[in-house]
Amino acid sequence: MNASSYRAAGKADRLLRAAVTSFCATARPARRDAAQLDDLSVPLIGSVSDETLRFAAAALSETPYAPPALIRRLADLPVEISAPLLMRSPVLTPIDLLALIARHGTPHARAIAGRPGLDRRILLLIRTLDIAGEGVKPASADEARTTLRTMMRPAEDTTPKEAAEPAPIRIRWEGEPGVYRKLRSAALVGAPIVFHTALAGALGIDTAEAAAMVEDVDPARLIVALRALGLGAEEAFLVIQCLRPVRARRDVANFLNAWEAVSREDAARVAAGWREPSPHAEPANETWGPRNLRAS
């Protein structure tokens, strides 16, 4: 690193440290303060040292007022930097923690397992990785599926823990819930026809075609469908977990690899083809297998 680059890096470190220190020194930071810190951090995170990033993660790890976007960016860094946030940050939600485990696997999961008062649903998921420590029995696949369905229940559904029967999943709203919430709730119902109908409506295809897509052993077409509908990787992962829960970290990695292998534009083009099927099209399993996702 030349002298000018060294001075620039040092300035960025000092600026980010000063901003974080000032934010943490404020008893009750306003939204404007959080927004300013987030705006300042965006161009700096890639140019500051790991030591400064560790400082920021540790300093912000216990404040509930920290900007969520910044906390998620820091939590997505290697565990050597993000551990304080993974273990303590009240800003990270159960969905955030699940997404971090899906992306980073064991290292992040071990840190998350150390959170005091960890959400029982997340703990059960960590048990499926068999990393929660001695004396903890790994959860079965059925337990993991039940846990995921409980965790992904829409906010309107407030089933008491003591209830003998779970409250029905809400599948109608007064406003427009969006494609993701519709599919998520339909998947949580547990009745295949409900999800098939919801997916068919979202894609503009026949219910039978949607059913074939969902029930196909190869999930490639379902992944393309969710990609075409504009879901994020974590959102798609949660929906698919309801339909076909994964049983190993390798399965999570395979899902992410398949997801990243096709762009939203390519997926949209493929989905348009489903709405206007060609009589000369090849069988779906041969055309849209994992090897051909990017080529399409």
Per-residue model confidence as pLDDT tens for the chain (296 residues): 444 434 445 888 999 999 999 999 988 888 899 999 999 998 888 889 999 999 999 999 999 999 999 999 999 999 999 999 999 999 998 878 878 887 888 889 889 988 888 877 777 777 766 554 433 444 444 544 454 444 444 444 444 444 333 444 444 444 566 888 888 888 887 778 888 888 988 898 888 888 888 888 888 899 999 999 999 988 898 898 888 887 677 888 888 888 988 889 989 998 888 886 544 444 433 333 333 443 33
Q: Residue 161 has what pLDDT? A: 41
Q: Residue 140 has what pLDDT? A: 46
The answer to whether the pTM exceeds 0.85 is no
Q: Residue 174 has what pLDDT? A: 46
**What DSSP line would sit under 176-200, residue for residue?**
---HHHHHHHHHHH--HHHHHHHHH
Q: Residue 196 has what pLDDT? A: 87
Q: Scanning the structure block, which residue is given the tokens 């059925």?
A: 142
* DSSP SS3 for 280: coil
Q: Residue 59 has what pLDDT? A: 93
Q: Residue 54 has what pLDDT? A: 94
Pairwise CA distance, residues 226 & 236, whole Å: 6
> Residues 236, 238, 243, 246: is their CA dihedral positive or negative?
positive
Q: Residue 293 has what pLDDT? A: 40
- The answer to whether 238 and 225 have CB atoms below 8 angstroms apart is no
Q: How many helices (H) and strands (E) does the chain have?
A: 17, 0
CB atoms within 10 A of CB 101: 26
Going by the DSSP 8-state scheme, the letter that residue 174 receives in this structure is: S
